[in-house]
Amino acid sequence: MNRRWISVATTAVALAALTACGDAEEAATKAVDARDFVALGDSYAAGLGAGNYGDKQDCVQSKDGGYPHLWAALRTAATFGTITDATCAGAKINDVRYEQLTALNENTGWVTLTVGGNDAGWTKSLQACLLGTDETCKSSVDTAVTTVESALPAELDALYKVIRDRAPNAKVYVLGYPHLVAAPGAAGVSCEALSDARRKALNDGADSLDELIKGRVAAVQGFTFVDVRKAFEGHEACTKEPWIHGLRDNLSESYHPTPEGHKAYADALFAVTG
């Protein structure tokens, strides 16, 4: 080959290498500093039960008592960009998917989420256990568990995919649900209509939901499940020092975390994230 063309080709290769190197350096310089925090989910994420509710009356967000705000306050060494609380009491999986994700983008570095309880129909099950018999309680919980096992996997998978697509740089923490009531046979427990059999049914149902969520989360890269059941152990409704409200004058707060319960949520999350 002509030496001139060899020289030209060699120069071209060298320039291409330098250009590629420059592009890589420029890309590294422009790497996204993902620091925004977005909180998603239902009443357990919104802080229902903690009081000091803000302007979003329909969503019943606690201004400072929900676990997302408490967790952000614990992370004093972290520098957040923006903090967006999109949570809403009563939210179901598709409410989160279609109504709460507008704040997510490549700048989102942190996402927290609790959802699924409303989809399972736990409110109806709780009512059946409070007002019905042991048999109607168990039947209602069994129906909820069937819903959990049949409908929720596909809906959760779809939600998690959209979150990952919209917030590709985010660490996503999915927090589960505690047992609502004291364990069967727990000493010194007075739980009105909630007999041992009914408490067992409710807590078994919570386990089914948590284990389902845990399994779906494990399949998504960058998602972490935070199990809060242990954190609430001995502090469920009907115990001496409950972190779950029993029946309240404000019925919407019934069987939701107390301020101490929302702090337990935040502490459990902080134990994972630092």
Please report, for residues 20, 47, 122, 138, the alpha-carbon distance to residue 131 in angstroms, rounded to integers and kept in the order given: 70, 26, 14, 12
* Buried/exposed code over 175-210 (b: 16+ C-beta within 10 A; e: otherwise): bbbbbbbbbeebeebebeebeeebbbbbbebbebbb
**Cβ–Cβ < 8 Å for 186, 126:** no
Q: Supply the mean pLDDT for the chain.
A: 89
**Cβ–Cβ < 8 Å for 71, 138:** no
Active site residues: 43, 256
- Torsion sign (Cα): 46, 50, 54, 60: positive
**Cβ–Cβ < 8 Å for 167, 105:** yes
pTM: 0.87
Please report which confidence band the pLDDT of residue 49 belongs to, taking 50, 70 and 90 as the band edges: very high
* pLDDT(187) > 80: no
The percent of the chain in helix, strand and coil, each rounded to the nearest 5, is 50, 10, 40
User: pLDDT for 60-73, tens place per residue?
Assistant: 999 999 999 999 99
**Cβ–Cβ < 8 Å for 72, 37:** yes
pLDDT for the residue numbered 31: 59
Residue 50 dihedral angles phi and psi, to the nearest 5° = -95, -15
User: pLDDT for 130-183, tens place per residue?
Assistant: 999 999 999 999 999 999 999 999 999 999 999 999 999 999 999 999 999 999
